[in-house]
Amino acid sequence: MNTHCVTTLRSALCLSALLALISFSANAADMLKPFILVSNAPGDNVQIIAKTKSALTAHGFEIVGEYAPYQNADIIVVTSPELKAAAAKTEFGGYGAVQRVSVTKVKDNVQVAYTNPVYMANAYRMASDLSNVATQLSAALGNGQPFGAKDGLSAQDLRKYHYMFGMPYFNEPDELGKFGSYQEAVKVVEDGLAKHRGGVSKVYRVDIPGKQQTVIGVHMTDGCSGDQYIMNRIDFGSIKSTPHLPYEMMVSGKEVYALPAKFRIAQSFPDLSMIGNNSFFSIMCAPDAIENALKAVVGNKSD
């Protein structure tokens, strides 16, 4: 913008342009993206994993699970008293009880990234925006660059997010099974995961304080439901969205739920096209396969 215009504001047109620029900048700053990239440089991924875990625990995070869903990808799942307390305040807040940190080797570089707590808090309609957790993660791992959506989404849009007309919202979960009690539901899920039913196994478990709710992260390996199958097709950018994983099962009261794949995947990949190469069409078998695999965990046969 012309310096003379900015400093003097002699005309209404100039003032209008300045205000429009300020408004655009403010709106852009409010846009949220699903992930934060903190480093992308040559290095030894084993050493970087160890350093990352040490930094997380030093800044008050508890590591509740870790797994390698496929070669050159490692995911560290963390929680904290603040995350669990925030999760307890909303009906299905347990999905936000953890944050996921990834270390991914891509050619000669190692990328360290994590879920954006503020993005996730809004997507899961939590009472807290988890901004303090975002500050803690930044302190632990370093300042990062948001990524995962070209323009980002506003908090308001995330709280009512769905990919497109006819696709599910956050409050329309897959119902996997209902049992006689919360304790029975948790036991059935734990037993099914221990037996790897449906090609599904446990990565972590977090019990939400003060309520009958448990979130369990899972590794899926079979066919169209498999972590590697899906990510090979949709995580095609140069910066990897590895913190999308792992998927979750939720025990709430007597019932077992999961977020439908048409929401859960779209939440992490909001810019993914519907058709074409590396699109939702390329994993069109995944939503049903994921639901069926998770139903198999609790012994529920597919419809």
289 CA to centre of own chain: 20
Q: What is the pLDDT of residue 173?
A: 97
Whole-number pLDDT of residue 13: 45
User: What CA–CA distance (Å, rounded) separates 182 from 187?
Assistant: 9
Contact between residue 94 and residue 186 where contact means Cβ atoms under 8 Å apart: no
pLDDT per residue of the chain (303 residues) written in tens, 0 to 9: 445 544 544 444 444 544 444 334 334 558 999 999 999 999 999 999 999 999 999 999 999 999 999 999 999 999 999 999 999 999 999 999 999 999 999 999 999 999 999 999 999 999 999 999 999 999 999 999 999 999 999 999 999 999 999 999 999 999 999 999 999 999 999 999 999 999 999 999 999 999 999 999 999 999 999 999 999 999 999 999 999 999 999 999 999 999 999 999 999 999 999 998 989 999 999 999 999 999 999 998 754
Give the residue from 77, 68, 141, 144 showing the smallest Cα distance to 105.
68
Q: Which helix (H) or strand (E) holds 177?
A: strand 174-178
Token pair, residue 244, equals 């999308």
**Which residues are CB-contacts of 80 (< 8 A; sequence separation ≥ 6)?**
60, 61, 62, 133, 136
* Domain chopping of the chain, boundaries: 35-161+169-297
> Which of the four CATH numbers 1.10.3720.10, 3.90.79.10, 3.40.50.1820, 3.30.310.70 does domain 35-161+169-297 have?
3.30.310.70
Helix (H) or strand (E) holding 241: none
What local confidence, expressed as pLDDT, does residue 17 receive? 43
User: Which pLDDT does position 302 carry in this prediction?
Assistant: 59
Residue 70 tokens, joined:
């496929």
pLDDT on residue 22: 39
CA–CA distance, 286 with 224 (Å, rounded to integer)? 5
Residue 51 to residue 216: CA distance in whole angstroms: 25
